[in-house]
Amino acid sequence: REVSGKEHSEILTSMNNLAQALKNQGKYVEAKKMNRETLALREQVLGKEHPDTLASMNNLARALSSQGKYTNA
């Protein structure tokens, strides 16, 4: 992140993958935080309609759903 910057596409992909790994480990709070950060950056860098941004939206919804927060998902 410090070398390439948070907005670099490979960094965003890595952040997304880390969020998924955290969710798979049951670390839902950390996963939710990482998903929110990744989504915000992807919206800023790629736009709201980009497939990667939409994937981040889906991942955040799944993380929230895993916590039983269906109305937030």
CA distances from 22 to 4, 10, 35, 50, 60 (A): 23, 18, 10, 24, 12
Q: What is the DSSP string of 31-51?
A: HHHHHHHHHHHHHHHH-TTSH
**Average pLDDT over every residue of 35-42:** 95
pLDDT bin (cut points 50, 70, 90) of residue 30 is very high
Q: What is the pTM of this model?
A: 0.80
Residue 72 has pLDDT above 70, yes or no: no
